[in-house]
Amino acid sequence: DSGVTQTPKHLITATGQRVTLRCSPRSGDLSVYWYQQSLDQGLQFLIQYYNGEERAKGNILERFSAQQFPDLHSELNLSSLELGDSALYFCASSVGVNNEQFFGPGTRLTVL
């Protein structure tokens, strides 16, 4: 158990819908990262927050957005969902920047 929690574990929804994935980092960790794992793209970095502020952006679609709240938990919002958005979404956290990242168990999103 890494100490990073993600909810829900599974999510099944339809195309065009909007979902929110939630992540609670390890106690004391200020950085939160979101990654997408799919069969065709592998593991890809989406976005990073540090202490409430966006710090780095990767291959995140405009339909996707994220935020980190004052209690340091983070949410990833996916809208206008397409079949291709079906994937495992991981959250990771680290103490600060340039530290090893600890991954949560992931949320498996299925878009039908």
Residues in the site for another protein, rule: CB under 8 A? 2, 4, 31, 33, 35, 42-45, 48, 55-56, 58, 90, 92, 94, 97-98, 100-106
Q: How far is the CB of 67 from another protein (least distance, A)?
A: 18
- Between 48 and 74, name the residue whose CB sits nearer to another protein: 48
- Between 52 and 105, name the residue whose CB sits nearer to another protein: 105
What is the distance between the alpha carbons of residues 111 and 101, in angstroms, rounded to a whole number? 28
Please spell the DSSP secondary structure of 5-20, one letter per residue: EEE-SEEEE-TT--EE
- Between 73 and 88, name the residue whose CB sits nearer to another protein: 88
Cross-sheet strand order for the sheet of 74-78: 5-7, 19-24, 74-78, 64-68
